[in-house]
Structure 1
Amino acid sequence: MASSSTSSVHKSFKYEVFLSFRGKDTRKTFVDHLYHALQNKSIHTYKDDERIKKGERIDDELIKSIEDSKFYIIVFSKNYASSSWCLDELVKIIECQKTTEHTAYPVFYDVEPTEVRKQSGEFGKAFAKQEKKETAEKWREALKEASDLAGWELKNTLDGHEAKFIQKIVEEISLELRYINLSVDEKLIGMEDRTRDVVSSLEMGFDDVRMIGIKGMGGAGKTTLAKAIFDHISFQFEGSSFVENVRENSNSNFSGLKKLQKQVLKDVLNDQGINISNVHDGKKKMKKMMHCRKVLIVLDDVDHTKQLEALAGELNWFNKGSRIIITTRDEQVLVAHRVNLIRDVNLLSPKEALCLFSRYAFGREIPIQGYEELSRQVVLYAAGLPLTVSVLGSFLCGKVEVEWESAIQRLKTIPSKDTLDILEISYIGLEEEHKEIFLDIACILKGCKKKDAIRALESCGFYATIGLKVLEQKSLITISEYGELDMHDRIEEMGQYIVRRLHPDEPNKHSRLWIEEEVRDILVSDQGTNEAVRCIELSSSELNPEIFMKGLGNLKKLRFLQVHHYFPYPSNNWEFDEVRRYFPNALRCLRWERYPFGSLPKSFQANNLVQLEMPYSRIVQLWEGGDKKALNKLRFLDLSWSNLKYLDLGLTPNLETLDLTDCPDLVELHMPAEWRKLISLKLSHSKSLHGLFGELQRPNEANSETTKLIVTEVLLMTRKQYNTQAIH
């Protein structure tokens, strides 16, 4: 791939600030305080402090230092102009300041701007010593230009208080650097708007103490956003600390938390001599020492409330105006700690993702010619996840087109390890049951209505409502505006990879099957008993249903089966073998849309079946040959839009929901009078019924196709209530 230059070049400076001053006037007073204030804010500053200036001209080393500085602070004092060295510095500074890369700020310490501009007053007396020198005119011009620049005058600022004056200078320089860092960092895309949005929610003008949480999935850019916010506002606080990788750096015996407490105190107090004996001692010291300071603390990647209790226990630990920012994948951690405001991190838009990818892959904001479509494919795969975008951009940088195509195809089977390692952290921290629920969603249930997924998962023995809430709080799933389970494509990919990675080429050893070719191969091969497969989803197939049924019987531990769409082969004349096992007896949830047979096989014991859904099926009666086999665990039954003729609900004593919508052939429905667990009953669009509650029979006019029996959401009615209220 041909190399490409960047679209814009930003100069990197050795120093952020260069201080120009007359040593005899201010070295040990004003300039000394200003220098240390800048250093305390991590502003790299050049101060020619130790050098004994001899000779008339500044040397090459000093000239280089001026050229290598972004900002200049020129401290004009009464005797500044008495030094030819200072005046030569000023000439070089003004020369550099005329470029767009440098900015000079005059500070009028004990003189007024007009004195510098006109070389009058005490300042003029000092300059008089230079009048006869050859460079005097050049110095005059430099002094005039410097005095016309925007700067600060001590006498007219903050009532002349030097400490407050210095703080103002440092804050304004810090702010300039923040804006520069945000715009110069070519790897930060869309960060300026996101930073501004979160900063506005911090409401910096209020004096209360606030904690704000930023949550999102791994790799979504939480840490990057938190760093940008920290860089943007930290100068406004008396002390600040950015604590990275809290989860990783704190461990079970709390020695890690003790180190993090020590780090926060050192950063905030700028004191390297702090000692902490244990976490409890650290809490006491943090509360005592930070109570009098306005501080900014960022706690990055928190995953447990104990970490917050140790590092930001209560709001009263901090002085007015303090702000604590917490990033996490787990919303519950923030809720439990009573965080004031919780914000979701926004993923990259397609335009932003393409720009970020291009900067990593090509060193420019748009793809180079010939790589536009391949770049769009990568960005589509990354689905707005900054981590994936940057990893793939770095990986593909310098590779030729053939390598790109190969890499993109490989990603569809084997995801990027760098991305997976970050994403899997959330999965590893789950309880075992929640891991199983997560894998069921990633492999099979993504896109299902939440209520349907809960029903299916509960049928399989899981506490689904709690489990889904946990996964949602940990940013592993979301609920769409339509009430459907959703998750980021890379999270889904990670879940599917976890299922497949131990035996990538042996699907018969996978716990969940959802790829049609693999399902077909396993069921057709008839390899004998299989105890690995727990769940199957088949969305469409040309597989002969008779072969499909025979293969299912080998899956001894199968608990969940979901089949969609109609098999193209007619099955009216095929009969079940009375001995052969078809459906595994371990099945707890059986969802088969367009089931092609007239009944369930006799060999299916169904002792564990909790949910049975067979809409649009050919089923005529539940059991082959009219058997009366009890389904004692069955809670959910859906035979809507089917060929059903007979149903005896005495066989389902624990049934809670029943859907027989539009069963035109239904002529006999037995419902025992003592049946009391029904919550929801749907019988609309049926033509005739016999034996409802044993003896209840529909009126003659009910045989008309235009007449409807509507019985919906019957809530534990008695027989009398049913007779008088539910028949229309």
Structure 2
Amino acid sequence: MKRKRSSSPETGSTSHGSSGTEYDVFLSFRGPDTRANFTDSLYRTLVDKCIDVFIDKQGIDVGEEIGPEIFQAIDNSKICIPIFSRDYASSSWCLRELEHMMQRRKTNELEVMPIFYDVEPSDVKLETRVYADALTLHKEKHGAEIVQRWAEALREVTGIKGWDTENRGDGTLAHLIAQKVLVKLKVSCVDIADHLVGMDGSVNEVVNLLNVEFEDVRLIGLWGMGGIGKTTLAKVVYNKLSSNFDGCGFIPNVREASQGSSIMDLQRRLISDFTSDTEVRISSIDHGKNTIKK
């Protein structure tokens, strides 16, 4: 079923029907810092790739109370992306959002992908005065206990591998992040049966053979009579390891599919999985091979 998109009059956010609707991505950012530049570029890039994004378009930087729909949107999101800019920590609402994200992450219900935009992880970790001074000011209004929770969330998020500008333009960085989000969203797109029994040993054996931490190429063959679970094993391994790669694809029944259609159709499907390009154009099998290599 295709989800309906509408604009919420209260927050100006992209929403989808009722309050219980899920989002793919929640963007947390300091409006005056990045709303009109990087955040806008990232938002448009994500939407162009059909990723459902919650973004507070109106903003809470002007002093209103944060609405319950913000926390609910975090709860209903699969990935949260805090964009740490120079004045992110000066916003108590940004810090509340971050604290809520990190709490949800502890229950394995949410993935957090931090972006360090015009700041270093050491700034966010409170090793410099950039964010530390902002927290000191917050203590006067919000109290030491609350600010301590925010400080713990800031330190904790720096333990997650994130993104930085690295002399890249906003558009380039937004594209790279969108590609990574697509990969993470596709991790569980291969359907497997619930409550599988006796798979752990075989899965661990294949994972050890693949040894994805090494920068080489591995080809693993699963051999055996029909019906013993080779495809299921491959699916479980795929779901377990997909997030380690910038591109991934799962194509079952290759022999049968190549008999019913051309090899080029399989090549297009593989390239589409890697690049998220739904209109792959290849003119020959050799062209397809070269494109896959690239």
What's the TM-score, normalizing by structure 2?
0.63
Q: Give 1:29's aligned residue.
A: 38
Q: Give yes or no for the alignment of 1:269 onto 2:252.
A: no
Partners of 1:97 and 1:104 within 8 A in 2? yes
After the TM superposition, which residues 156-235 of structure 1 pair with which residues of structure 2 at under 5 Å, given as runs?
A: 186-204=194-212, 209-235=217-243
Following superposition of structure 1 onto structure 2, how do residues 691-710 of structure 1 map, counting pairs within 5 Å?
Answer: none
Q: Quick check: 2:26–2:79 contact (8 Å CA) kept in 1? A: yes
CA distance in 2, matches of 1:216, 1:127: 61
Deviations 1:447-488 (A, max 9, x none): xxxxxxxxxxxxxxxxxxxxxxxxxxxxxxxxxxxxxxxxxx
Alignment-derived partner of residue 141 in structure 1: 148
Partner of 2:288: 286
8 Å Cα contact 2:113-2:160 kept in structure 1: no
Letter aligned with residue 270 of structure 1:
S
The answer to whether the 8 Å contact 2:125/2:158 transfers is no
For the Cα contact (< 8 Å) 1:19–1:45, is it kept in 2? no
Question: Do residues 58 (structure 1) and 60 (structure 2) align?
Answer: no
Structure with the bigger RCO (C-alpha within 8 Å, sep 6+) is: 2
Aligned twin of 1:578: none
Distance 1:115 1:261 in 2: 45
- Return the offset for 1:104: 5.6
Report the alpha carbon displacement of residue 31 of structure 1 after superposing the two structures with TM.
Answer: 9.0
- The CA deviation at 1:259 is 2.6
| Matches for 1:4-23 after TM superposition, within 5 Å | 14=22, 18-23=26-31
Structure 2 CA distance for aligned equivalents of residues 104 and 207 of structure 1: 26
Deviation at 1:144, TM superposition (A): 1.1
CA distance in 1, matches of 2:123, 2:213: 38
SS of 1:266's partner is helix
Q: How does 1:668-679 map to 2 (within 5 A)?
A: none
Structure 1 counterpart SS, 2:156: coil
Secondary structure at the aligned position of 1:74 is classed as strand
Q: Distance in 2 between matches of 1:89 and 1:150?
A: 12
| CA distance in 2: counterparts of 1:214 and 1:206, whole angstroms | 21
Structure-2 change in CA distance of 1:24 and 1:221 (3 Å): farther
Taking every aligned residue pair, what percent have the same amino acid on both sides? Answer: 33
Distance 2:281 2:117 in 1: 40
Find the aligned partners of 1:105 and 1:92 in 2 and give their Cα distance: 14
Q: Distance in 1 between matches of 2:41 and 2:114?
A: 17
Structure 1 residues 239, 71: closer, same or farther in 2, change over 3 A? closer
User: Partners in 1 of 2:213 and 2:102 — Cα distance?
Assistant: 37
5+ residue gaps, structure 1: 1-12, 293-728
What residue number does 2:249 align with?
241
Q: Provide, for residues 83-104 of structure 1, a one-character-per-residue CA deviation record: whole Å limited to 9, x for no partner.
A: 3432332343355456565576
Report how far residue 48 of structure 1 moved: 1.6
Measured against aligned partners, the alpha-carbon deviations of 1:250-282 in whole angstroms (never above 9, x if no partner) come to 446xx4544323212222233222234xxxx43
Give a deviation string over 1:163-186, Cα, whole Å, max 9, x none: 89x78xx59x95xx97x999x974
Per-residue deviation, residues 630-678 of structure 1 (Å, max 9, x unmatched): xxxxxxxxxxxxxxxxxxxxxxxxxxxxxxxxxxxxxxxxxxxxxxxxx
Gaps of at least 5 residues in structure 2 are 1-20
5 Å-filtered alignment, 1:192-591, equals: 192-204=200-212, 209-251=217-259, 255-276=261-282, 281-292=283-294
Determine which structure has more spread, i.e. the larger CA radius of gyration.
Answer: 1
Aligned length, in residue pairs: 260
Conserved? CA contact 1:107–1:152, under 8 Å:
no
Deviates more, 1:211-220 or 1:93-102: 93-102
Letter in 1 for 2:90: S
RMSD, matched Cα: 4.7
With the length of structure 1 as denominator, give the TM-score of the two structures: 0.30
| Residue 693 (structure 1) aligns with | none
Contact 1:97 1:103 in 2 (8 A): yes
Quick check: 1:66–1:93 contact (8 Å CA) kept in 2?
yes
1:283 deviates by 0.9
Shift of 1:78: 1.2
Report the Cα distance in structure 2 between the residues aligned to 1:61 and 1:125, rounded to whole angstroms.
Answer: 29
Change (3 A) 1:271 1:98: closer
Q: How does 1:16-95 map to 2 (within 5 A)?
A: 18-26=26-34, 28-29=37-38, 46-48=53-55, 51-54=57-60, 56-69=64-77, 72-95=80-103
Cα gap change, 1:236/1:92 in structure 2, threshold over 3 Å: closer, same or farther?
Answer: closer
How far apart are the structure 2 equivalents of 1:19 and 1:256? Answer: 42
Could you tell me how far apart the structure 2 residues matched to 1:45 and 1:195 are? 32
Distance apart, 1:80 and its partner CA: 0.6
Distance 1:268 1:97 in 2: 27
Alignment map for 1:613-652 (pairs within 5 Å): none
For residue 282 of structure 1, what is the amino acid of its counterpart? S
Q: Which has the higher helix share?
A: 2
CA distance in 2, matches of 1:86, 1:65: 14
